[in-house]
Structure 1
Amino acid sequence: MKGKKDDKAFRELFRQKLDNIEVMPSSSTGSDLMRKLAVREFFHFIPNKFNIWYACGIAVAGVAIAVALISGPGRNNEKMPDSASSVLNEIINEAGNERTQGVTVPEPDNSIIAVEKGTEPGRSISRQRAGRTNNSNLISSDHRQAVPSRTETNLSPDKAFFSENPAEKDRLKGVKQLKNIIIPSVIEGCSPLKVRFTNKSSSYETFRWTFGDGGYSEEKEPEWIFDIPGDYEVTLRLYSSNNLKAVSSCMIKVYPVPVARFEIVPADVPQPGENITFYNYSTGAEKFKWIFGDGSTSDLSEPVHSYTKNGNYTIRLVATSEYGCSDTLVVQNAFDAEKYFIEFPNAFIPNPGGPSNGYYSAKTDESASIFHPEADGVSEYQLKIFSKHGILIFESNDINIGWDGYYNSQLCDPGVYIWKVRGNFINREPFTKMGDVTLLKDMK
């Protein structure tokens, strides 16, 4: 007990001695204390003060905005173009909805090619008639095809590419505009349209013409051919002392040309008095003129005609559009007893010893090492070979040169390849066919 009393007395004495003494902390002590307090407050949620919770929210929002900007709207829906499938689709569309018989065309990726079986391999016809589509009444493969070998595509000028710079057009607005300076030889007509431009201006040193199709000339009075249907603004700039002084313009309208084509049913030599139907597959035309070669004519779209006696007759069809543009298809000796033909094999075995440049002979035919047609009466010819993915691997315009199975001096892989041929017989009857061929591996 005594020890406790002494300790209490000691503390009381110490308190009395220090009761009136003040100790002031240093400035560094105060700043350290405030900094520690600020850190403690930052890590606690206080609604009216910026703290770690607000900082995290701002960071998350910034990341979300950045991701949205990088991705862009609809970016995930974009598709890279499949060049192989698009090439093969172009090949198929180019045939004009042809009917291929006796062959099985391999299916490319994401594409299906409908094939119908028949008695004549490779025989094909167009099923689009003038003014209507007939998909239900299929014409027999015995009918002779009389479809032009060329493919007509209605094109229009690329306005985005051929149009002048907007800034240039704005600059021309402030230049003197002259009328009746350009005198074209024609202002409208059928493609290809040849126009001669007369320049009636005077007192100008140099000239620059733009024709609206990407072409230009610096002649005073140029001549230009517009080969694509469309509306063209022809502009003439007039310069003196290398300064643009005046501008004049005019419009040229170019109309498309129709395509005449037809088919004769039946194609065999007709008997006197036998009815013959002329199926019309022309496009872009509204008027027709048939000349049957025996002095008879018809203005019907699809006439039926008969001959009074046997003979070789030349059939002519003139198809005319609403703009007066016309195209003519002529089939000479339409009922000739001599049959012209072109046929292809369905398989071959390339020589593994190396490419042969496609030249074939009786020896190569024995080994079936060159893919080429058997034909008679062919005057014009074009053969193309594609892989099943639509890649062009061989092309020949010479019927005496076939495909040896090589591409870029490398032997192609065994498998199925697509061929397409077009051309004309010597009587000017066109043909277009497509089929497949199997490349086999030499097992020797």
Structure 2
Amino acid sequence: MRIALLLISLLMVISLQAQNTKPNASFSISGNEVCVNSCISVSDRSTGEISRWEWFFQGGNPEVSDSRDPGMICYKTPGKYKIFLTVTDNSGNSDLDSAIVSVGFYTPALISVEPMQGQAPLNVQISTTAPAGQCTWYIEGSSYSGMSGLSHIFQQDGNFDICLVTTNPFGCKDSACVDVHVWSQLLQDTSFLVVPNVFTPNNDLQNDIFRTTSSNIVEWDSRIYNRWGQQVFSSNAPDIMWDGMWNGNPCDDGVYVYIIKAIGSDGKIYDISGTLTLFR
């Protein structure tokens, strides 16, 4: 009888030990809310005698991993994505844990300024399509938050940046600046050239045309190319502007490259290249 009780106790201990060594899936991530084109770190926290780890990262890069700690997982597209971890021991016992990651897209910092040049004192009207609560403006050393539009008077001559930083609820940021040229009466014969970095040809009568701002330009050549290197626009005069069309069709949203070569009446040579964003 005593031996039988000892055997039963021994079997119970062995059974409890076997249960304690069964895998229990668990992991931690550096954040459940991230910005597009950002990464998170993933670390295993599982317990038990585990022989195999199987990760699946929906919408992530990499998408799968068999490492215990897969490291950094990156996301390029906004949305809600699941992470799955399956752990297995040598006996075939397995367990599953999961989590959800929300990937947010930044709010484009699109700036409209009218006028972009003029004689001091110059009163300019500034606006954006971004929600007011996501906007912070930086003008002449001062910052202004919570406004999608404002006005500002430049009292002195010179070139001034109007900058906008947008921050969405995920903390994702975007920024852009527009240059404003202000001259005094004595400088009004000086040539200048200002190129915007964004336009929105959506027929709302606001910023529908890619328009440079210039004065006293005597020679001009401008060209615009898409991301495949195809020329979508050219002009031999600064007052000929691009409406976002190519061969009678609207161009896709995206980033385009411009090259401008010009000469001012004061002899100044302009050789400018950069990118502009088309956003309908």
Shared fold per TM-score greater than 0.5: yes
For residue 46 of structure 2, give the secondary structure of its aligned residue in structure 1. coil
Distance 1:199 1:279, change over 3 A: same
For residue 335 of structure 1, give the secondary structure of its aligned residue in structure 2. strand
C-alpha distance in 2, partners of 1:231/1:432? 27
Distance 1:323 1:417, change over 3 A: closer
C-alpha distance in 2, partners of 1:382/1:306? 35
Letter in 2 for 1:301: S
Asked if 1:374 corresponds to 2:204, the answer is no
1:11-34 deviation digits (Å, cap 9, x = unpaired)? xxxxxxxxxxxxxxxxxxxxxxxx
Letter in 1 for 2:225: Q
TM-score normalized by structure 1?
0.38
Deviation at 1:287, TM superposition (A): 2.3
Point out the structure with the larger strand share. 2
Point out the structure with the larger helix share. 1
C-alpha distance in 1, partners of 2:137/2:258? 21
Q: Is the 8 A contact 2:23 2:87 kept in 1?
A: no
C-alpha distance in 2, partners of 1:313/1:242? 70
Q: How well do the aligned residues superpose, as a CA RMSD in angstroms? A: 3.6
Q: Give runs of aligned pairs for residues 156-195 of structure 1, distance below 5 A.
A: 178=24, 181-195=26-40
Distance 1:285 1:227, change over 3 A: farther
Q: Determine the structure 2 residue equivalent to 1:150.
A: none
Q: Is the 8 A contact 2:257 2:273 kept in 1?
A: no
TM-score normalized by structure 2?
0.58
C-alpha distance in 2, partners of 1:207/1:252? 20
Larger Rg: 1
Deviation at 1:182, TM superposition (A): 0.6
Q: How many residues align?
A: 196
Q: 2:141 aligns with which of 271, 286, 295?
A: 295
Q: 2:67 aligns with which of 207, 210, 219?
A: 219
Structure with more relative contact order (C-alpha pairs < 8 Å, separation 6 or more)? 1
1:53-105 deviation digits (Å, cap 9, x = unpaired)? xxxxxxxxxxxxxxxxxxxxxxxxxxxxxxxxxxxxxxxxxxxxxxxxxxxxx
Moved more, 214-223 or 195-204: 214-223
Structure 1 unmatched runs, 5+: 1-175, 343-372, 385-394, 403-415, 434-444
Letter in 2 for 1:182: F
Letter in 1 for 2:55: W
Deviation at 1:286, TM superposition (A): 3.0
Q: Is the 8 A contact 1:237 1:244 kept in 2?
A: no
Deviation at 1:236, TM superposition (A): 0.5
Structure 2 unmatched runs, 5+: 1-21, 183-190, 197-219, 235-245, 260-271
Deviation at 1:208, TM superposition (A): 1.1
Q: Determine the structure 1 residue equivalent to 2:115.
A: 266
C-alpha distance in 1, partners of 2:119/2:91? 73
Q: 2:126 aligns with which of 278, 286, 290?
A: 278
Q: Determine the structure 1 residue equivalent to 2:154.
A: 307
Q: Determine the structure 2 residue equivalent to 1:383.
A: 226
Asked if 1:243 corresponds to 2:92, the answer is yes
C-alpha distance in 2, partners of 1:259/1:304? 21
Q: 1:396 aligns with which of 226, 229, 232?
A: 229
